[in-house]
């Protein structure tokens, strides 16, 4: 088993996470690969201090983006892994239970026909929770990367970044994360980096299992609880959904997506006439999400047309890898 995570100026988060990792019971042969994405705080020194306590390898990835970091490790070590070996993917802000990796390995051993394993993600709230965010409680899963289900077969898209695993043979066959999605240092990046890959794995016939007992807690930072952060995340999520929905589709899908977004916007505006001010954040969330959906679909439609036009104009400069991260 290997565990991969990326970090960018994650010293504060890692000061909580690394001691928790020391309490995790490690299956035989477990190795941790941490990718530093250009930290300027004390992240590297902190990781160096744990190198003698954990089977830890630190990598450097100057190209900004979580998916660039994950792909860096996969490209380096994939050939060394046994086909059925488990690649656990997580983030730099989790607090795992002591049996986290044992349970993930047990799920993989018990279900050799499955290639994707989704683990349970619960919140680790800050001391003070802003009561103003209660109206958007139904979207906590999206906002804070929380997921839970019963033990059993599941849709691969239930595998989310803080707690998921994929068998090595999937990556050995050429699958990688698409760097166009996920955190990349900008505010308006399209969310859904793991979901984008999981959708491709679903289409390719790979089966998934929800490992309920493989549980971690996701650190929720106080800065994530203000209205601005929530609305920004709503846009990013909608943007990612729109982009992924439009991929490989033409103008008809674009029209359908734009119509759905327009209906959402109109619905929100009409509700504002009788909705109390106390739930304004919910209306802002829905409106911004719809705007993100429309923007993401339109961006992908235009991008695809630019690529097609370029291929027709200078075919000698095109190859089969026009879209990064595709299988």
How far apart (Å, rounded) are the C-alpha atoms in residues 27 and 104?
10
Q: Which domain holds residue 56?
A: 2-225
Q: What does the pLDDT read at residue 310?
A: 52
Domain final residue pick, 200, 225, 250: 225
Domain final residue pick, 179, 207, 225: 225
- Asked if the model's pLDDT at residue 313 lies above 90, the reply is no
Q: Which pLDDT band, with edges at 50, 70 and 90, does 326 fall under?
A: very low
User: Using CB atoms within 10 A of its CB, is residue 16 exposed (0-12), middle (13-18) or buried (19+)?
Assistant: middle
- What is the residue-averaged pLDDT of the chain? 92
How far apart (Å, rounded) are the C-alpha atoms in residues 297 and 303?
10
Long-range contacts of 314-323 (CB under 8 A, 24+ apart): 323/178
Q: What does the pLDDT read at residue 320?
A: 46
Q: Which pLDDT band, with edges at 50, 70 and 90, does 155 fall under?
A: very high
Q: Kindly state whether residues 43 and 121 are assigned to the same domain.
A: yes
Q: Kindly state whether residues 175 and 306 are assigned to the same domain.
A: no
Which pLDDT tens digit goes with each residue over 19-51? 999 999 999 999 999 999 999 999 999 999 999
Which pLDDT tens digit goes with each residue over 49-107? 999 999 999 999 999 999 999 999 999 999 999 999 999 999 999 999 999 999 999 99
Residue 309 near residue 320 (C-beta atoms within 8 A):
no
Is 275 contained in some domain? yes
Q: What does the pLDDT read at residue 315?
A: 56
Q: Which pLDDT band, with edges at 50, 70 and 90, does 322 fall under?
A: very low
Pull the structure tokens for residue 5: 């995570």
DSSP readout, 81-113?
A: S-TT-EEEE--SSEEE-TTHHHHHHHHHHH-TT
């Amino acid at each position: 088993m290997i565990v991969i995570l990326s970090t960018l100026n994650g010293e504060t988060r890692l000061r909580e996470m690394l001691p928790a990792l020391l309490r995790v019971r490690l299956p035989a042969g477990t190795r941790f690969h941490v990718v530093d994405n250009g930290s300027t705080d004390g992240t590297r020194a902190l990781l160096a201090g744990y190198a003698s306590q954990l089977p830890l390898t630190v990598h450097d990835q100057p190209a900004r983006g979580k998916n660039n970091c994950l792909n860096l490790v996969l490209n380096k070590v994939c050939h060394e892994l046994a086909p059925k070996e488990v690649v656990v993917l997580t983030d730099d802000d989790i607090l795992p239970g002591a049996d986290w990796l044992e349970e993930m390995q047990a799920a993989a051993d018990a279900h050799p026909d499955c290639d994707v394993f989704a683990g349970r993600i619960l919140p680790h709230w800050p001391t003070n929770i802003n009561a103003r965010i209660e109206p958007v409680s139904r979207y906590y899963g999206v906002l804070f990367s929380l997921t839970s289900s019963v033990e059993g077969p599941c849709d691969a898209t239930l595998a989310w970044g803080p707690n998921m695993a994929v068998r090595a043979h999937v990556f050995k066959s050429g699958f990688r994360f698409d760097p166009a999605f996920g955190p990349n240092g900008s505010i308006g990046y399209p969310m859904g980096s793991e979901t984008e890959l999981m959708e491709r794995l679903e289409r390719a016939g790979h089966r998934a299992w929800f490992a309920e007992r493989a549980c971690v807690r996701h650190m929720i930072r106080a800065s994530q609880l203000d209205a601005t952060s929530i609305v920004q995340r709503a846009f990013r999520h909608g943007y990612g959904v729109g982009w992924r929905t439009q991929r490989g589709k033409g103008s008809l899908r674009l029209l359908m997506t734009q119509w759905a977004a327009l209906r959402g916007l109109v619905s929100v505006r009409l509700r504002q006439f009788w909705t109390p001010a106390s739930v304004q954040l919910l209306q802002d969330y829905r409106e911004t999400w719809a705007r993100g959906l429309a923007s993401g679909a339109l961006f992908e439609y235009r991008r695809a047309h630019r690529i097609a036009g370029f291929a027709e104009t200078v075919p000698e400069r095109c190859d089969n890898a026009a879209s990064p991260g595709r299988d």
